[in-house]
Chain A
Amino acid sequence: MEALAKTDFIAKEEQAAKPFVLWRPTAQTGLMSWLTTVDHKRIGLLYGASALFFLVVGGLEALFIRIQLAVPNNTFLSSAQYNEMFTMHATTMIFLVVMPLGAAFFNFIMPLQIGARDVAFPRLNAFSFWTFLVGAIILNIGWFRPDGAPDAGWFGYTPLTTRTYSPTHAVDMWVMGLQLLGVASIAAALNFIVTIINLRAPGMAMMRLPVFTWMTLVTSFLIILSFPAITIALVEIMMDRLFGTNFFEVSNGGMPILWQHLFWIFGHPEVYILILPAMGIISEILPTFARKPLFGYPIVVFSGASIGFLGFGVWSHHMFTTGMGTVATAAFALMTMAIAVPTGVKIFNWIGTLWGGHLTMRTPMMFALGFVWMFMIGGFSGIMHAAAPADLQQHGSYFIVAHFHYVLIGGSLFALLAGIQYWFPLMFGRRVSEFWGKTSFWVIFVGFNVTFFPMHFLGLEGMPRRTFTYDGNMGWNLGNFICTVGAFILGIGLAIYLIAMVYAYYKGPRSLKDPWDARTLEWSLPNPPPVYNFQVTPTIHARDSWWYEKQHADEIAKEEAEHAKAEDTHGGIHMPFQSIYPILAGLGILIGSIGVSVVDPADPTKYPGFWGPKIAVTIIGGAIMFVAVVLWSLEGNEGYHIHLNPDGSIKGDGAQKHY
């Protein structure tokens, strides 16, 4: 209680009125309220909506790829278009779908699970989202430009990405877009780390955190520690492209292999960034629908953390074919095999959770069970690659494509789809049709396996990755045709899923509070959660805290009534002001990035000397960003107080008066 009495916001009580430039937006509804929001739930929804939009975009790109490969010597796409498709499909799905869907849940669910009213730095959180969106725009702007979309693969291997071999701006956009997505991810991850460590409700010890929150923490650490590697790699390639430096320029002593190392120092932790949130979601869903606590909670947490740690020591298993020498190859092979151990431990814990439980087969549970099975298949083919001699055979073949789609779709995406179904009633207060949910699951499940299982065989038969077409006499015709049919089934399944979800958002039946009879704290809230989250800051008594509260309702009600009174006398609930500056900073970054990556360098005959449109646009963007950041820091992290009626509605007119 002492904690609530002394927020540092109260300290600024007697400040003079702000000058007019520090204008505070107060809109509660409409476009402006979304553009200036600092509410973690709204930011979570913005992430989710963008991710689902890009899921459709990336899915269409995948279908184009499959149409092209359906029959031998197809001419549906040209080879150049095919390169754009597979590059953008991978980049979109990884950075613009799976990561932001994870971020959507981090934002929306994690603060609710720890009993916080918002993240530690609400405006920084908004900034992360807008920067993410700017990065997404820069990545995709090439579709509407004569340069075309990026076409050098999601890994951007040098020397293919150097100016000699990729002279257009397409690769510049890829570099800049990825750089911004990195900045956005790091800013968001720092925020989540501070939030989880520092904003836990009283009694929420680290070993009482829900597993999803634990995995958010581990993922955030992976993000802040792995993204700097690609930041450096991207800076180096950008210097090469813009200023003619020699990092990857072989003729002047550069080593393209360095790019591969730096990229995979980032790239391998990145795959755990994609899968750990999924594991967290599954660790929430299985106990809820098995009606048992998670089996071996400390082991699940510990293995999650050790996956994160070991994930930094295995990057070179992507490079077994580059000839690193026997010692390095053996060391990385061993580390890779070691990392399978904590992953396997988790699988056993999930099975232990299911064992003897009262399984309720609802849509989220179906996806979660599908995840466990499909992720295991992906894991098995993954451990095969750990053996370097086997990897030499599989490297760069469709076997790899099969493997990572099993872990990314059968793993990450299944879990994220399960998470959407699971938390949908909490987020929107409506239920998704059980029939259409289950139908979509079965169609997705069948379509997914029909698409990707044959790819194992295609790979072992020698079909190379990234090939835009193939001859009819290679023996790959049937496999490819089946894959394409499967891709369309998968597409139909996802369409059913999304349509059922959108329908439920508008017309679905109202959901009761806590419809799944769940265990973690977020379900103690009415749905959708009010803007202030918790009417009274909860006190945590046990690991599955909401389950405990349901068993001890009287005791908790008494405790809450006392705390409510105390909080009200301390000045009510503190809410942060909305702010215009995060999106303004994002706008500056957008303009600056367009200057760096899209605008042509000055024609020396037209613009002699230093100045030209490229420099001008970049500087204008940078200046807007700088001004926004300065005003942002001058405006300060103040807020206003609200008082609640016993039913949870806000007392008075809810006007945001500076106290």
Chain B
Amino acid sequence: MSSQAAAATLDHHHDPTTSTGIPNKKLLMWAFLASDCMFFGCLISTHLIYRLHPPPGTPIARQVFSIELTSFSTFILLMSSLMMALAVNAIQKGNLKSMRWSLLTTIFFGCIFLGCQVFEFNTFVHEKHLTITNSILGTTFFTLTGTHGLHVLIGVIWLSGMLLYSFTGNLTQKDAIDVESMGLYWHFVDIVWIVIFTAVYLLEYI
């Protein structure tokens, strides 16, 4: 069965079993991401609202943040997005080996991002004395970036699971949609970070 499928061309943008031609899993993921827009929209709003009128005694965000580190992790996350796109590209071609390498790199970059975040949080708490309880800035900053970090962590676990699963031999070109919807999630985590990088970090420097 699998060799037949490989011989025939698979059109990954059309699924004949559904009314619209869009695979169910892809539609589910896009609807979920629409919902997640609202989720992060409210969370980012909370942070920005509290930045509008910081109460007296709030630490100066510019003196706490390290824009070099954050720029680096932003770059890393963008590159992981590239590798994710390449992984999807590879599995759609049926190139399992290439997909594995791309996935592995994505996971690696995801871990670097998480590592940077752990380092950042650690520095903020122990050296800059910004904690989740001692000021409203700490509260909203750690909750927002922590929730994003949690999304990255879930993504890394999902990616790793998929990578392991690919060695069982059950992951073939026909299952590209599974990798693709995982990719959609990963890219979404990336675009949320694009917004956070601007709204939370860069705006503080103006």
Chain A interface residues toward B at CB < 8 A: 2-4, 6-8, 11, 13-15, 120-121, 186, 190-191, 193-194, 197-200, 204, 224-229, 231-233, 235-236, 239, 243-247, 252-255, 258, 262, 265, 630, 633-634
Complex: A320 Cα to B1 Cα, angstroms: 65
Q: How far is the CB of A644 from chain B (nearest CB, A)?
A: 20
Contacts A15-B170, A630-B161 given; does A245 touch B132 at CB 8 Å: yes
A-B CB contact pairs (8 Å), 12 listed: A190-B32, A191-B28, A193-B27, A194-B31, A224-B35, A231-B39, A232-B39, A247-B139, A247-B143, A253-B136, A255-B49, A258-B46
- Whether A11 and B46, one on each chain, are in contact in the complex, defined by CB atoms closer than 8 angstroms, is no
Q: How far is the CB of A5 from chain B (nearest CB, A)?
A: 9
- Whether B16 and A253, one on each chain, are in contact in the complex, defined by CB atoms closer than 8 angstroms, is no
Q: List chain B residues, Cβ under 8 A from A265.
A: 42
Q: List chain A residues, Cβ under 8 A from B55.
A: 252-253
- Whether B58 and A194, one on each chain, are in contact in the complex, defined by CB atoms closer than 8 angstroms, is no
Interface residues of B in 15-58 (CB under 8 A from A): 15-20, 22, 24, 27-28, 31-32, 34-36, 38-39, 41-43, 46, 49-50, 54-55, 58
Q: How far is the CB of A150 from chain B (nearest CB, A)?
A: 23
Contacts A197-B19, A245-B132 given; does A120 touch B174 at CB 8 Å: no
Cβ-based interface call for B145 (8 A): no
Interface residues of B in 164-178 (CB under 8 A from A): 165, 170, 174
Contacts A11-B174, A190-B31 given; does A253 touch B135 at CB 8 Å: yes
Give the bracket for the number of chain B residues in contact with chain A.
Answer: 35 or more
Contacts A198-B22, A199-B18, A255-B50 given; does A228 touch B35 at CB 8 Å: yes
Q: List chain B residues, Cβ under 8 A from A243.
A: 132-133
- Whether B133 and A246, one on each chain, are in contact in the complex, defined by CB atoms closer than 8 angstroms, is yes
Q: List chain A residues, Cβ under 8 A from B46.
A: 232, 236, 247, 258, 262
- Whether B42 and A224, one on each chain, are in contact in the complex, defined by CB atoms closer than 8 angstroms, is no
Cβ-based interface call for B140 (8 A): yes
- Whether A235 and B143, one on each chain, are in contact in the complex, defined by CB atoms closer than 8 angstroms, is yes
Complex: A235 Cα to B47 Cα, angstroms: 14
Complex: A2 Cα to B36 Cα, angstroms: 35
Q: How far is the CB of A255 from chain B (nearest CB, A)?
A: 7
Give the number of A-B contacts (CB < 8 Å): 120
- Whether A253 and B58, one on each chain, are in contact in the complex, defined by CB atoms closer than 8 angstroms, is yes
Q: List chain A residues, Cβ under 8 A from B135.
A: 246, 252-253
Cβ-based interface call for B195 (8 A): no
Q: List chain B residues, Cβ under 8 A from A255.
A: 49-50
Complex: A247 Cα to B161 Cα, angstroms: 36
Contacts A15-B170, A199-B18 given; does A239 touch B139 at CB 8 Å: yes
Q: List chain B residues, Cβ under 8 A from A262.
A: 42, 46
Give the nearest-CB partner of A186 in chain B.
Answer: B35
Complex: A191 Cα to B27 Cα, angstroms: 10
Cβ-based interface call for B67 (8 A): no
Q: List chain B residues, Cβ under 8 A from A246.
A: 133, 135-136, 138-139
Cβ-based interface call for B5 (8 A): yes
Complex: A80 Cα to B6 Cα, angstroms: 68
Complex: A243 Cα to B138 Cα, angstroms: 12
Q: Which one of A4, A191, A200, A634 contacts B19 once the chains associate, using CB atoms below 8 Å?
A: A200
Q: List chain B residues, Cβ under 8 A from A225.
A: 34-35, 38
Complex: A120 Cα to B22 Cα, angstroms: 12
- Whether B50 and A232, one on each chain, are in contact in the complex, defined by CB atoms closer than 8 angstroms, is no
Q: How far is the CB of A570 from chain B (nearest CB, A)?
A: 12
Q: List chain A residues, Cβ under 8 A from B147.
A: 235
Q: List chain A residues, Cβ under 8 A from B24.
A: 120-121, 194, 198
- Whether A252 and B31, one on each chain, are in contact in the complex, defined by CB atoms closer than 8 angstroms, is no
Interface residues of B in 137-165 (CB under 8 A from A): 138-140, 143, 147, 161, 165
Complex: A193 Cα to B58 Cα, angstroms: 44
Q: For the A-B complex with A193-B31, A198-B24, A247-B46 known, give 14 more contacts whose Cβ atoms are closer than 8 Å.
A: A2-B16, A8-B174, A11-B5, A190-B28, A191-B28, A193-B27, A229-B38, A244-B133, A245-B139, A252-B136, A253-B50, A262-B42, A265-B42, A633-B161
Complex: A191 Cα to B42 Cα, angstroms: 23
Interface residues of B in 35-85 (CB under 8 A from A): 35-36, 38-39, 41-43, 46, 49-50, 54-55, 58
Complex: A254 Cα to B133 Cα, angstroms: 11
Q: List chain A residues, Cβ under 8 A from B41.
A: 228
Query: Which of B134, B136, B161 has the largest count of A CB atoms less than 10 A from its CB?
Result: B136
